[in-house]
């Protein structure tokens, strides 16, 4: 087992990073990237932009720091919190979950409750409660008590960090979408320290709410080539027919052909495939065209930027925990590293 890699993934997975509030993740990214790149700065939206200076072409690698989260929108007189979701969360995964709310000075723990089962009408029992029927209980008994803890309308909450090493070189944790990508981004920059290419490592904000940070970052970087590194959905689990399985855990990095936000530029797609083949790196295609990534914003910048996506397959993304295979993460790092090297000379 690669303990350095596991520790970095764990640290990033456990960091708190709702869209727009990525500070904890940003601090880790800055600290790691400062050691291995020529320059690191943060733009006005909070994107971390690290530069490895070299020759053309200018390659931009991007991974997003934010995770799906909850936004507190109402506090009732009995101290219960109502919320909306930031990013796509299936309401089925919310009920009965523990959450954590980080305020300026406090870490507040809470639990998502709903009307108890014995009070439900027969037809209600068959349905998943809507988000507006759920509430967060932080143990307070009044609005004043909630406010005293520093929790207010506008506070955010995330699922609880519970990183675990599983059997078979697999790990389980929160927010692998896209802390797996953030981990890979750092490791790739470490590997390409002597590359003659110019490489920008961009850790973006607000991907989960509309690929937003990547948009402003790409305008500043003006890359020739873009590559998003993601933690993507894997549905290699019971109940999914083979032809609807997007990716499979343990079968290598997933190369996107097309999704809702982009059709991968054929030039980049070809190069990713050839690079994987030449370097004997296992790979697979993402076989569904759902979802979108930062590449959707990157490729539409200025005159258009040929862009691709390489992802670590993760089961159960956008839920409290996801599972990935460390071999896939390592092979993603190898593939992106080899992709950068393919532009040398």
Closest CA to 272 of 249, 254, 246, 245: 254
Tracing tokens 């909630």 back to the chain, one arrives at: 146
Residues 6+ apart with CB under 8 A from 337: 188, 191, 192
* Number of shown-chain residues binding Zn ion (CB under 5 A): 2
Query: Which of 195/235 has CB closer to Zn ion?
Result: 235
Query: Which of 54/325 has CB closer to Zn ion?
Result: 325
- Buried b / exposed e over 2-24, threshold 16 CB at 10 Å, is eeebbebbbbbbbbbbbbbbbeb
Tracing tokens 């532009």 back to the chain, one arrives at: 343
Query: Which of 19/223 has CB closer to Zn ion?
Result: 19
CA–CA gap between residue 78 and residue 143 (Å, rounded): 6
Among 22, 32, 207, 230, which one carries the catalytic annotation?
A: 207
CB neighbours of residue 185 within 10 Å: 29
Query: Which of 146/314 has CB closer to Zn ion?
Result: 314
Query: Which of 176/343 has CB closer to Zn ion?
Result: 176
CA–CA gap between residue 268 and residue 271 (Å, rounded): 5
> Please, are residues 51 and 190 in contact by the beta-carbon 8 Å criterion?
no
Q: How far is the CB of 320 from Zn ion (least distance, A)?
A: 16
DSSP state of 302: T
User: Looking at 146-154, 169-177, 281-289, 324-332, which segment touches Zn ion (CB under 5 A)?
Assistant: 169-177
Q: How far is the CB of 64 from Zn ion (least distance, A)?
A: 6
Provide the sign of the torsion angle of the four alpha carbons 116, 134, 207, 193, taken in this order: negative
Q: How far is the CB of 166 from Zn ion (least distance, A)?
A: 21
What region does 38 belong to: left with phi over 0, alpha with psi -120 to 50, or beta? alpha
User: Looking at 95-103, 141-149, 171-179, 263-271, which segment touches Zn ion (CB under 5 A)?
Assistant: 171-179
**For the chain, what is the total number of helices (H) and then of strands (E)?**
9, 17
Helix, strand, coil percent content, the chain, rounded in steps of 5? 30, 30, 40
Quick one: which of 22, 32, 66, 178 contacts Zn ion (CB under 5 A)?
178
User: Looking at 170-178, 259-267, 273-281, 334-342, which segment touches Zn ion (CB under 5 A)?
Assistant: 170-178
User: Looking at 10-18, 95-103, 175-183, 249-257, which segment touches Zn ion (CB under 5 A)?
Assistant: 175-183
Quick one: which of 177, 259, 325, 337 contacts Zn ion (CB under 5 A)?
177
CB neighbours of residue 127 within 10 Å: 10
Q: How far is the CB of 340 from Zn ion (least distance, A)?
A: 21
Tracing tokens 């979108």 back to the chain, one arrives at: 292
Query: Which of 75/314 has CB closer to Zn ion?
Result: 314
Query: What character string, x for contact with Zn ion (CB under 5 A) and - otherwise, covers 127-166?
Result: ----------------------------------------
Annotation marks residue 207 as catalytic: yes
Query: Which of 99/295 has CB closer to Zn ion?
Result: 295
Closest CA to 231 of 180, 184, 187: 180
Q: How far is the CB of 136 from Zn ion (least distance, A)?
A: 24
By CB under 5 A, is residue 22 in contact with Zn ion?
A: no
Q: How far is the CB of 130 from Zn ion (least distance, A)?
A: 25
User: Looking at 112-120, 173-181, 213-221, 258-266, which segment touches Zn ion (CB under 5 A)?
Assistant: 173-181
Q: Please give the backbone phi and psi of residue 188, each rounded to the nearest 5 degrees, phi first.
A: -65, -45
Q: How far is the CB of 338 from Zn ion (least distance, A)?
A: 22
Q: Name the residues annotated as catalytic.
A: 207
Residues of the shown chain interacting with Zn ion in the complex, contacts defined by CB under 5 A: 177-178
């Amino acid at each position: 087992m690669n303990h350095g890699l596991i520790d970095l993934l764990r640290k990033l997975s456990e960091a708190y990073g709702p869209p727009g509030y990525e500070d904890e993740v940003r601090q880790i990214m800055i600290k790691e990237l400062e050691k291995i790149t020529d320059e690191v700065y943060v733009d006005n939206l909070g994107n971390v932009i690290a530069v490895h200076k070299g020759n053309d072409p200018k390659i931009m690698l991007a991974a997003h720091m934010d995770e799906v989260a909850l936004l507190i929108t109402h506090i009732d007189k009995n101290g219960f919190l109502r919320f909306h979701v930031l990013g796509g969360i299936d309401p089925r995964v919310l009920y009965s979950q523990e959450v954590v709310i980080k305020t300026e000075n406090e870490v507040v723990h809470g639990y998502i409750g709903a009307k108890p089962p014995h009070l439900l009408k027969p037809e209600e029992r068959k349905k998943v409660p809507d988000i507006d029927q759920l509430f967060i209980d932080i143990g307070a008994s009044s609005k004043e008590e909630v406010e005293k803890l520093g929790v207010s309308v506008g506070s955010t909450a995330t699922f609880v960090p519970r990183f675990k090493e599983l059997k078979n070189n697999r790990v389980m944790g929160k927010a692998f979408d896209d802390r797996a990508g953030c981990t890979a981004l750092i490791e790739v920059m470490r590997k390409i320290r002597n590359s003659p290419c110019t490489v920008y490592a961009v850790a973006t904000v607000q991907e989960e709410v509309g690929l937003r940070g990547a948009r402003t970052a790409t305008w500043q970087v003006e890359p020739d080539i873009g590559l998003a590194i993601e933690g993507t959905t894997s549905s290699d689990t019971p109940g999914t027919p083979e032809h609807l399985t997007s990716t499979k855990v343990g079968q290598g990095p997933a190369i996107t052909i097309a999704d809702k936000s982009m059709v991968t530029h054929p030039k980049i797609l070809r190069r990713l495939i050839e690079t994987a083949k030449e370097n004997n790196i296992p790979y697979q295609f993402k076989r569904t065209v759902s979802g979108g990534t930062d590449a959707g914003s990157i490729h539409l910048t200025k005159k258009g930027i040929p862009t691709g996506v390489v992802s670590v397959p993760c089961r159960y993304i956008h839920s409290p925990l996801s599972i990935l295979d460390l071999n896939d993460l390592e092979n993603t790092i190898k593939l992106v590293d080899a992709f950068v090297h393919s532009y040398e000379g």
